């Protein structure tokens, strides 16, 4: 036995120092989207992404370069949207709003990506409402249709036509427009026509407010009443729809349906000029007043004017007489309309060929409403602004009983570094307002110009509405509702 061992065994016991035992456990591997990221914006994006994936699922959330490309931003860099969420129902929209409220992330609802103005998506959480495609519920007895805002309008119109019903001013062709865009959900809607806009038929809606509350406004028994009272508080549905997604996110709407007449389209084309447009406006005013037609559209592009006129009759046997009456009126205004094509035939051919005639340009646009006396002045102003931009005019006119709706297409050279907000139509939108035009869709492009000309009472009312529906500014943003 070793000596050292023997002495240590029989000598006095030495007290050993305490040993600190540290137990280490193997960590469970975390998913990639939960790994620690850089501090600051990256950490916020990671937290928002984790919350959205937990509530919506991985296939309904987009971040990083995929989110930038979806919104029109170039790939790379750290700017752009925080994330893009694609909810499928109102409950998921409510969850997204509450996540944005918890993470202090501004929300921006949109129905079509990429957005018109890419700078508006910087450091915001995009709520893509195109996935809210609840199937249409047609109530033939009450003549209503309840549908999600992401459902194509043409699908609702075709299903309603099976019961001899239709949407207001909605031709039976598919131009990609969605119900939410037609009732002002933050995107350009339809141009309207002689019978008015589809917004007038909204009698109910399911909305998630900026505070994260799911509310249902309106009822089917309001069919015989106005959608909202023109005076006083009344039904707040009109206020929420008019905010264009800055007080609440519209998830579904209930629309009033109308009897579907037999219709036919007549077309004409020719050089675009001031006399040609004024002649078309005179024809539209006279034809709409005597109910010879219900829709008059004029498209100016590449110095050509394309005219589309729709004739309606409650009996198919009366269509030829209505067409002849309209053609006589057109000849008095030096406009020759071609042979009419029934709307049903156009739909059938389009379905067989798989191609639908496009009627709406979904690029950046400016929509205004102008009265009949101001149509020539507005044409001169827009012509000068397009000339200042160095591009040929691209305008779409839609004439109605109360005047004309004008859509100015804003085309910019993104590759050359040109910005949308520097285009003369947008930068000098005040000239349009001075010419008598009223914006039908403010959006992000016209909001600064509209705010400058807004009276103080309107700003105070907007601030009061924001405190009621979006007190923390989750949807209204830094600038408020206006």
Residues 168 and 156 sit within 8 Å (Cβ to Cβ): no
What does each C-alpha distance from 73 to 5, 79, 173, 416 come to in angstroms? 77, 9, 31, 15
Q: Is residue 177 part of a domain?
A: yes
What does each C-alpha distance from 193 to 2, 125, 144, 482 come to in angstroms? 109, 35, 21, 27
pTM comes to: 0.79
- For strands 107-110 and 165-166, give the pairing: unpaired
d(C-alpha 110, C-alpha 393), whole Å: 27
**Can you give the CATH number for the domain in which 141 is found?**
3.30.465.10
pLDDT in single tens digits along all 482 residues of the chain: 444 443 344 444 455 554 444 444 444 444 444 444 445 778 888 999 999 999 999 999 999 888 888 887 877 777 789 999 999 999 999 999 999 999 989 998 888 787 767 777 888 999 998 889 888 999 888 889 999 998 888 788 888 888 888 887 655 445 567 888 777 555 555 554 445 677 778 888 899 988 888 988 875 445 455 544 444 445 677 777 777 778 889 999 998 888 888 888 888 999 999 999 999 999 999 998 888 888 888 889 888 998 988 888 888 888 889 899 999 999 999 888 887 777 655 554 444 443 344 444 556 788 888 989 999 999 999 999 999 988 889 998 988 777 888 888 888 776 556 678 888 998 999 999 999 898 877 777 788 888 888 888 888 888 888 888 888 888 876 666 66
What does the pLDDT look like over 156-192, one tens digit per residue? Answer: 888 888 888 888 765 544 556 788 877 755 555 555 4
Nearest CA-CA partner of 167 in 188, 194, 144: 144
The total of structural domains in the chain comes to 4
- For strands 144-148 and 137-139, give the pairing: antiparallel
3-state secondary structure of 156: helix
Looking at 319, 353, 387, the residue that finishes a domain is: 353
Looking at 131, 165, 193, the residue that finishes a domain is: 131
Q: Is the dihedral of CA 280, 281, 285, 291 positive or negative?
A: positive
Q: Is residue 452 part of a domain?
A: no
Does residue 65 sit in the same domain as residue 81? yes
Q: Is residue 292 part of a domain?
A: yes
Q: Is residue 9 part of a domain?
A: no
Question: Residue 23: its pLDDT value, please?
Answer: 42
Q: Is residue 476 part of a domain?
A: no
Does residue 150 sit in the same domain as residue 239? yes
Does residue 141 sit in the same domain as residue 251? yes
| b (16+ CB within 10 A) / e for 440-469 | bbbbbbbbbbbeeeeeeeeeeebeebbeeb
Question: Residue 174: its pLDDT value, please?
Answer: 53
What does each C-alpha distance from 229 to 11, 386, 464 come to in angstroms? 103, 40, 18
Query: Per-residue DSSP letters for 286-327?
Result: HHHHTTS-SEEEEEEETTEEEEEEEEEESSGGGHHHHHHHHH
Does residue 273 sit in the same domain as residue 255? no
Does residue 125 sit in the same domain as residue 54? yes
Nearest CA-CA partner of 90 in 133, 139, 152: 133
Q: Is residue 8 part of a domain?
A: no
Per DSSP, 370 falls in state: E
Three-state SS letters, 240-289: HHHCCCCCEEEEEEEEECEECCEEEEEEEEEECCHHHHHHHHHHHHHHHH
Residues 220 and 203 sit within 8 Å (Cβ to Cβ): yes
| Spatial CB neighbours of 181, under 8 Å, sequence gap ≥ 6 | 111, 112, 187, 188, 189, 190
Does residue 293 sit in the same domain as residue 346? yes
Does residue 163 sit in the same domain as residue 195? yes
Question: Residue 369: its pLDDT value, please?
Answer: 86
For residue 187, cis peptide bond before it (omega within 30 degrees of 0): no
Does residue 252 sit in the same domain as residue 266? no
Residues 220 and 139 sit within 8 Å (Cβ to Cβ): yes
Residue 479 dihedral angles phi and psi, to the nearest 5°? -85, -5
Q: Is residue 219 part of a domain?
A: yes
Domain of 393 in residue numbering reads as 365-441
**Can you give the CATH number for the domain in which 94 is found?**
3.30.43.10
Question: Residue 171: its pLDDT value, please?
Answer: 52
Does residue 372 sit in the same domain as residue 348? no
Q: Is residue 455 part of a domain?
A: no
Residue 361 dihedral angles phi and psi, to the nearest 5°? -90, 120
Question: Residue 233: its pLDDT value, please?
Answer: 45
3-state secondary structure of 224: coil
| Spatial CB neighbours of 265, under 8 Å, sequence gap ≥ 6 | 308, 309, 310, 311, 340, 341, 342, 343, 346
d(C-alpha 406, C-alpha 188), whole Å: 12
Does residue 209 sit in the same domain as residue 167? yes
Neighbouring C-beta atoms of residue 360, cutoff 10 Å: 16
Question: Residue 169: its pLDDT value, please?
Answer: 62
Does residue 86 sit in the same domain as residue 149? no
d(C-alpha 399, C-alpha 396), whole Å: 10
Residues 269 and 366 sit within 8 Å (Cβ to Cβ): no
Run of H or E residues at 236: none
Looking at 317, 332, 353, the residue that finishes a domain is: 353
Question: Residue 280: its pLDDT value, please?
Answer: 94
Does residue 286 sit in the same domain as residue 341? yes
């Amino acid at each position: 036995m070793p000596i050292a061992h023997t002495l240590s065994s029989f000598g006095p016991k030495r007290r050993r120092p305490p040993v600190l035992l540290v137990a280490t456990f193997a960590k469970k591997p975390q998913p990639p989207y939960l790994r620690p990221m850089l501090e600051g914006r990256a950490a916020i994006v990671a937290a928002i992404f984790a919350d959205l994936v937990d509530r919506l699922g991985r296939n309904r959330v987009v971040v990083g370069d995929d989110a930038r490309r979806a919104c029109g931003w170039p790939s790379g860099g750290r700017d752009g949207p925080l994330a893009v969420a694609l909810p499928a129902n109102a409950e998921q929209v409510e969850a997204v709003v509450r996540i944005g409220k918890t993470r202090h992330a501004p929300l921006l609802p949109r129905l079509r990506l990429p957005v018109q103005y890419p700078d508006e998506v910087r450091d915001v959480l995009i709520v893509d409402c195109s996935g809210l495609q609840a199937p249409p519920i047609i109530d033939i007895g009450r003549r209503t249709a309840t549908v999600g805002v992401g459902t194509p309008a043409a699908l609702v119109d075709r299903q309603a036509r099976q019961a001899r019903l239709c949407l207001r001013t909605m031709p039976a062709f598919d131009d990609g427009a969605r119900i939410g865009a037609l009732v002002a959900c933050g995107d350009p809607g339809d141009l309207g026509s002689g019978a008015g806009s589809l917004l007038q038929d909204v009698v109910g809606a399911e909305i998630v407010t900026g505070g994260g509350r799911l509310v249902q406004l309106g009822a089917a028994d309001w069919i015989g009443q106005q959608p909202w009272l023109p005076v006083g508080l009344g039904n707040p549905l009109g206020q929420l729809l008019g905010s264009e997604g800055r007080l609440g996110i519209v998830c579904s709407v209930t629309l009033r349906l109308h009897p579907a007449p037999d219709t036919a389209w007549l077309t004409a084309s020719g050089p675009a000029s001031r006399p040609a447009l004024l002649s078309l406006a005179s024809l539209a005013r006279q034809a709409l007043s005597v109910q010879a037609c219900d829709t008059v559209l004029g498209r100016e592009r590449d110095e050509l004017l394309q005219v589309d006129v729709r004739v309606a009759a409650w009996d198919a046997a009366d269509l030829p007489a209505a067409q002849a009456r309209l053609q006589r009126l057109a000849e008095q205004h030096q406009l020759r309309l071609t042979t009419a094509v029934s709307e049903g035939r156009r739909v059938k051919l389009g379905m067989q060929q798989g191609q639908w005639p496009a009627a709406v340009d979904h690029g950046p646009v400016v929509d205004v409403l102008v009265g009949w006396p101001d149509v020539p002045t507005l044409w001169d102003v827009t012509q000068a602004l397009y000339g200042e931009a160095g591009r040929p005019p691209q305008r779409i006119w839609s004439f109605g009983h109360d005047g004309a709706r004008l859509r100015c297409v804003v085309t910019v050279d993104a590759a050359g570094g040109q910005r949308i907000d520097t285009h003369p139509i947008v930068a000098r939108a005040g000239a349009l307002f001075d010419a008598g035009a009223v914006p039908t869709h403010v959006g992000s492009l016209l909001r600064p110009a509209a705010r400058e000309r807004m009276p103080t009472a309107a700003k105070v009312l907007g601030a009061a509405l924001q405190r009621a529906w979006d007190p923390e500014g989750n949807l209204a943003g830094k600038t408020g509702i206006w």
